[in-house]
Chain A
């Protein structure tokens, strides 16, 4: 009698745990993507309505004047300030870039390493993104090749960066990869760089995958999309 009760309770527990695990996998693989797509769309809408209200700067600052004395307002933590487009990942690939790289920020889009350069500035504009889950923004990261375009729009200017080399694998503590002149990139002097980071292997966290790019062209938003995004 009591053996029967113990066995029954034990088997019920096993079924419960199994169901929990299945539910978690559904949440992790499917539901986070739904949430992230929704959140990213909301962030892009926020950006576009903000940009629609603000006057467009007549011209982007000329490259030599990037360290102008009137420093622009700092980005607000956890808020979007730009959109990123990578044609290699698909013509419709568009994600918001938010300030900081905290867990909650990266659930809504790509995260800008606080303290690194702004898009187009001298230094390193460093951005992290999920490779898997939360919409899989950087799922195709290893497919990046030298010359691929990474296009960033900050509301006034389109910045077109060019990937410099194939993705580089490193350890999580290698913070020098987001330095102003990133170590391992092959860049040797100051410049306008972009760094993308994501996890490696695809479902693990033992390493990081890094891609570097340098600024190739800028274009005021009033002149329309850059040719890389023409479909």
Chain B
């Protein structure tokens, strides 16, 4: 997988390293900005309210 990506990046080793670093940063940014905020409410840590609902959703209020 990673070998395949590396072989398909253009340029010499330096250019490839820089592109790879940029790709990693882009992936981390996407995770922090979009994926994790979406996934986080699915975990139970946000349940701080008493709401009579099942434990699945985090505090939908009264």
Q: How far is the CA of A177 from the CA of B48 in the complex (A)?
A: 13
Residues B48 and A31 in contact, CB atoms below 8 Å apart: no
Q: Would A12 and B1 be within 8 Å (CB), given that A101-B49, A131-B48 are in contact?
A: yes
Residues B61 and A113 in contact, CB atoms below 8 Å apart: yes
Residues A170 and B50 in contact, CB atoms below 8 Å apart: yes
Residue interface bits B31-59, CB-to-A below 8 A is 1, else 0: 11000100111001111111111010011
CB distance from B32 to the nearest CB of A (A): 6
Residues in chain A near residue B41, CB distance under 8 A: 103
Residues B49 and A128 in contact, CB atoms below 8 Å apart: yes
Residues in chain B near residue A13, CB distance under 8 A: 1
Number of A-B contacts (CB under 8 A): 105
Q: Would A106 and B46 be within 8 Å (CB), given that A101-B61, A114-B61, A175-B52 are in contact?
A: yes
Residues in chain A near residue B61, CB distance under 8 A: 100-102, 111, 113-114
Q: Would A102 and B62 be within 8 Å (CB), given that A131-B48, A175-B51, A208-B48 are in contact?
A: no
User: Is A192 an interface position by the 8 A CB rule?
Assistant: no
Q: How far is the CA of A134 from the CA of B47 in the complex (A)?
A: 12
Residue of B nearest to A104 (CB): B41
**Interface of A, helix, strand, loop or mixed by DSSP:** mixed
Q: How far is the CA of A108 from the CA of B39 in the complex (A)?
A: 18
Q: Would A106 and B59 be within 8 Å (CB), given that A132-B45, A203-B45 are in contact?
A: yes
Residues in chain B near residue A178, CB distance under 8 A: 50, 62
Q: How far is the CA of A28 from the CA of B41 in the complex (A)?
A: 11
Q: Which of A28, A102, A103, A208 contacts B50 (CB 8 A)?
A: A208
Q: Would A9 and B1 be within 8 Å (CB), given that A197-B48, A205-B47, A208-B48 are in contact?
A: yes
Q: Would A23 and B28 be within 8 Å (CB), given that A100-B61, A175-B62 are in contact?
A: yes
Residues in chain A near residue B52, CB distance under 8 A: 172-173, 175
Residues in chain A near residue B58, CB distance under 8 A: 103, 106
Residues of A at the B interface (CB closer than 8 Å) are 8-9, 12-13, 16, 20, 23-24, 27-28, 31-32, 100-103, 106, 111, 113-116, 128-134, 138, 170, 172-175, 177-178, 197-199, 203-206, 208, 210
Residues of B at the A interface (CB closer than 8 Å) are 1-3, 28, 31-32, 36, 39-41, 44-53, 55, 58-62
Supply 20 A–B pairs (Cβ within 8 Å), ascending by A: A16-B1, A20-B31, A28-B36, A101-B49, A101-B59, A106-B58, A113-B62, A114-B62, A130-B46, A132-B45, A172-B52, A173-B50, A175-B52, A178-B50, A197-B49, A199-B45, A204-B44, A205-B47, A208-B50, A210-B50
A-B pairs with lowest CB-CB distance, top 8: A205-B44, A205-B47, A101-B61, A128-B49, A27-B36, A101-B49, A12-B1, A101-B59
